Chains A and B, each alone.
Chain A
Amino acid sequence: MAKSATFSKLHDWLISEDFTSSRQARLHSVYLGWLSLIANPLAFAGFAVVLLLIIVAALAPVITVHDPFAQDFLMALKAPSSTHWFGTDEFGRDVFSRLVYGARTTLYITILVTVIVAPIGFVIGATAGYLGGWVDVVLMRITDIFLSFPSLVLALAFSAALGPGIENAVIAIALTVWPPIARLARAETLTFRHADFVVAAELQGAGVGRILLRHIVPLCAPSIIVRLTLNMSSIILTAAGLGFLGLGAQPPMAEWGAMAASGRQYLLDAWWLTTVPGIAILTVSLAFNLLGDGLRDIMDPRNG
């Protein structure tokens, strides 16, 4: 009882709009977001799956019983059983373990691409929008050139050029993901470009960098975060597509797309090899989409 009383007190404090500190105000808005996230079952489901993905990736060695890389030709292509939940692959490796370790690969690619793309996209877009003029023209021209290729085709071309390997795949995907972010950042910046507080800061002699960082970033952040979350889904799909074509992670690393692809060779004798990683890709990608969709309703109602 005492516990729930503490919780309800906390709840009251968080929900109250009589702020006593800026910290309370910030926590208040986060809390409201959280409440509306729980209120939206689909978005919450997405959030739960993403959380699960992170936990699984972090605890991979604890969760798995088998070594994901241990080969045994005598155990090759065994159907799912109590020892091998999702069966074994053509080298006799445990598919469940590889799936769990594959979560790490997926997360690694997704996070790395996002970390690369967010600042680049923002800087290019915001600079173009803020400075305008020929800077805007040049930067947006470059953006448009990259945008004019369908993203997978471009990623395919780049990763083929860079050679196979997970780092190269990350670079190739990043090259295709930044342009929409830059476009969005530019559009957002334009709406705030002539706002009073920006002009005021300019009058006080603040530099471009400072204005972008202190004033534009916080305002663009919600819509960019929503966009990045939704993007994660397409990053996962592109990565899987590259893996499928043999251009992503190289053996023996476990990667879902490559697993599904190599399983296709054994489709008729070992359906689980293709089916299981495919469902994993689908689930995670759907989760990011649901989460992004929910976040949009919460954080970025203007573009909803």
Chain B
Amino acid sequence: MKTLTRALLTCAITVAALSPVGAATPKDQLVIAIMMTTMRGLDPHEINQLEAAEVVANLYDRLISLPPDDITNPQPSLAESWTISEDGKTFTFKIRQGVTFHSGNPVTARDVEWSLHRLVKLGLAPSTDLRQWGFSAKNVDQLIRATDDQTLVLVTPEVWNPNLILYSLASYSTSIVDSKFLASKEKDGDWARNYLQTADAGSGPYSLVTWRSNQLLIADAFTDYWKGEPAMKRVYMGHVPESSAQRLQIDAGDVDVATRLSSTDLSGLERDGKVTVQKVPGFGFYYLALNQKDEILSNPKVREAFRYLIDYDGLAGSVMKYYGIKQQTIIPGGLPGASTDMPYKLDIEKAKQLLAEAGYPDGFSKVYFAQPGTPESEVGVSLQNNAAKAGIKLELQIGDQIGKFRSRQFELFSSRTGERLPDPHAVLQSYATNANNADDAKLAGLVAWRSAWDVPKEIQNMVTAAAHETDQEKRDELYARINQAYLRSSPALVTSFQRTDPKAVRNEVKGYVGHPTWLTRWDTVTKGE
């Protein structure tokens, strides 16, 4: 009879547990639902991913900050002020006094020096932010130096547009870490890399309490923060991978902010009125890459045909509603040289005609890799369907195939990019320069190289010239020309939408403002009724 009693007991517990649950997040705490699977480590000089960047943005400070609503206007942060020499090569920063790290150590120019050296010498993904201006492991000791505790001098090997340098020093990758504290955490000359994966050594408004990968992250307010103690005493980031689950939770008030919702769920939330949806513009595109080593795909007419196979309007009204802004040129909206021209629309007949002109009236078959997750997978399925109507049979494989793209072992590939500098150069560098198209050049950081696209020299030269140009008016004009030239070249990288990152925020949460270069801050957040 024991089993029966136990069965009854179990039933009783079930009934008890099924009684309604009340839930609302505490007033002085912020709960954010994200998808955490791609968050790998929290080392600011190593990460390369949106969610981790948001955490790093709050654990650390940088020399300069870019306000989310005035993104191209550099503001002082840890650097109180700066001067630029006449020749445009030497930047001198005065470091703010009285700022401390979470450890209690004061922030000095030595820490800045060490942090920037660390970024360049580790040479990981985000180091591009400095390396692209000519800094390298060899020269960085010479070119970036603290002359005293309060002064940092940075000399660029060439003259660049000064904004590019300042923007770089606002990127999460140039976060300032506590060099004294980390000295004790260093092992075998690893720059404390192992330690910083899961810990923080910053001076930002929040300090890390716990991070359990794919589960949750807790950060507590730093009481001695130089801008004053943040209102939210504790911030939770929870791993909620499902869009519908995020929607349910933000709707019920179990979370305050949700960042991985499908367009359908976002529409539903907006309709219900408890939530405001921010469409944070990003500096990157949804693109389709056509491998130029492929005989068929390197035909300009075939490349052109694909531009007519994307259902721009259908996607814009459904899966891309919150994830992108229609954009068929190469400079993101809001930046110098941007254009609103939309010369292309879904036109199967036109595509067929182009294919016939190219010599493929009966179409062809190709393998097509698309990234998983919304909206990338839907974009892939839609293209596959339209291509089939024009006679192109695409064998769609949805999965993490970025390695094959990097090593040029693909036929068609689609994904999205996101750059860290609010400047056309960041995008163009990757999409429109390819100094050496040979396989062994391995310029794997550039999507143009990955697509084996030998970008017309005319465009490449203009891109380089524009980055060096210090006269803003001339520069704007140059970018407008590049934009048109890129469009006319029938590029191997077909852009369809400018990336936007939607964030659903409950109405009572104020001051959570999505940042275009991923530096969304929590210290500005307050909660009303």
Nearest-neighbour CB distance to chain B for A94, whole angstroms, equals 14
A250 within 8 Å of B (CB atoms): yes
Chain B residues positioned under 8 Å from A252 (CB to CB): 381, 384-385, 396
Pick from B374, B384, B397: contact of A265, CB under 8 Å: B374
Q: Does B29 contact A (CB under 8 A)?
A: no
Q: Which residues does chain B contribute within 8 Å of A251, judged by CB atoms? A: 377, 380-381, 384, 396, 398
Which residue on B lies nearest to A73, using beta carbons?
B314
B521 CB, min distance to chain A CBs, angstroms: 30
Q: Which of B107-115, B261-269, B277-285 contacts A (4 or more CB under 8 A)?
A: B261-269
Given A91-B382, A266-B264, A267-B244, A250:B318 Cβ within 8 A = no
Is A84 engaged at the interface, CB distance under 8 Å to the other chain?
no
Binding site of B, secondary structure by majority: helix, strand, loop or mixed? helix
Q: Give the nearest-CB partner of B269 in chain A.
A: A268
Q: Total interface residues on B, using CB and 8 Å? A: 30
Closest chain-B Cβ to A71's Cβ sits at a distance in Å of 5
Q: Is B45 part of the contact surface with A, judged by Cβ < 8 Å?
A: no
CB distance from A127 to the nearest CB of B (A): 38
Secondary structure class of chain A's binding surface, majority of residues: loop
Q: Does B247 contact A (CB under 8 A)?
A: yes
Question: Is B378 on the interface with A (CB-CB < 8 A)?
Answer: yes
Interchain pairs with CB closer than 8 A, number: 72
- Is the C-beta of B294 less than 8 angstroms from some C-beta in chain A? no
Asked if A185 is at the interface (CB within 8 A of a chain B CB), the reply is no
Asked if residues A165 and B397 are in contact (CB atoms below 8 Å), the reply is: yes
Given A91-B378, A268-B248, CB of A73 within 8 Å of CB of B385 = no
The reply to whether A266 and B244 contact each other, CB–CB distance below 8 Å, is: yes
- Measured in the bound complex, the distance between the Cα atoms of B346 and A74 in whole Å is 14
| Known contacts A91-B382, A252-B385, A268-B244; is-contact A164 B399 (Cβ 8 Å) | yes
Given contacts A164-B398, A250-B397, A265-B264, contact A90 B378 (CB under 8 A): yes
List residues 172-216 of chain A with CB under 8 A from any CB of chain B. Answer: none
Write out the residue numbers on chain B whose beta carbons fall within 8 Å of the beta carbon of A246: 372, 398-399
Q: Whole-angstrom distance between the alpha carbons of A91 and B311 in the complex?
A: 12
Q: When the two chains form their complex, are residues B398 and A264 in contact, meaning their CB atoms are under 8 A apart?
A: no
Whether B264 contacts A269 by the Cβ 8 Å rule is yes
Contact flags B62-83 to A (C-beta < 8 A → 1, else 0): 0000000000000000000000
The minimal Cβ–Cβ distance linking B517 to chain A, given in whole angstroms, is 28
> Is B22 positioned at the interface, with any CB of A under 8 Å from its CB?
no
- Is A69 positioned at the interface, with any CB of B under 8 Å from its CB? yes
Query: Nearest residue in B to A72 (C-beta to C-beta)?
Result: B314
Interface size class of chain A, counting residues whose CB lies under 8 Å from the partner chain:
20 to 34
The answer to whether B315 and A265 have CB atoms under 8 Å apart is no
A269 CB, min distance to chain B CBs, angstroms: 5
Q: Which residues of A contact B395 (CB under 8 A)?
A: 250
Q: Which of A70, A72, A269 contacts B268 (CB 8 A)?
A: A269
Q: Does residue B207 face the partner (Cβ distance < 8 Å to A)?
A: no
Partner of A71, one of B242, B264, B382: B382
Which of A249-291 touch B at CB < 8 Å?
250-252, 264-270
Residues in chain A near residue B314, CB distance under 8 A: 71-74
The contact string, 1 if C-beta is below 8 Å from chain A, for chain B 384-409, is: 11001000000111110000000000
A76 interface residue, CB < 8 Å from B? Answer: yes
Residue of A nearest to B319 (CB): A90
Whether A77 lies near B264 (C-beta < 8 A) is: yes
Given A251-B381, A264-B244, A164 contacting B397 (CB threshold 8 A):
yes
Minimal beta-carbon separation of B16 from chain A (angstroms): 27
Give 1 or 0 for each of B303-318: 1 = CB within 8 Å of chain A CB: 0000000010011011
Query: Can you pick out 16 interface pairs between chain A and chain B where the beta carbons lie within 8 Å of each other?
Result: A70-B385, A73-B314, A73-B317, A73-B318, A74-B314, A76-B318, A91-B382, A164-B397, A165-B397, A246-B372, A246-B398, A246-B399, A250-B397, A265-B265, A266-B265, A268-B265
In the complex, besides A91-B378, A246-B398, A270-B264, 14 extra interface pairs with C-beta distance below 8 angstroms are A71-B382, A90-B378, A91-B385, A165-B397, A246-B399, A250-B397, A251-B380, A251-B381, A251-B384, A264-B244, A265-B244, A265-B265, A266-B265, A268-B268
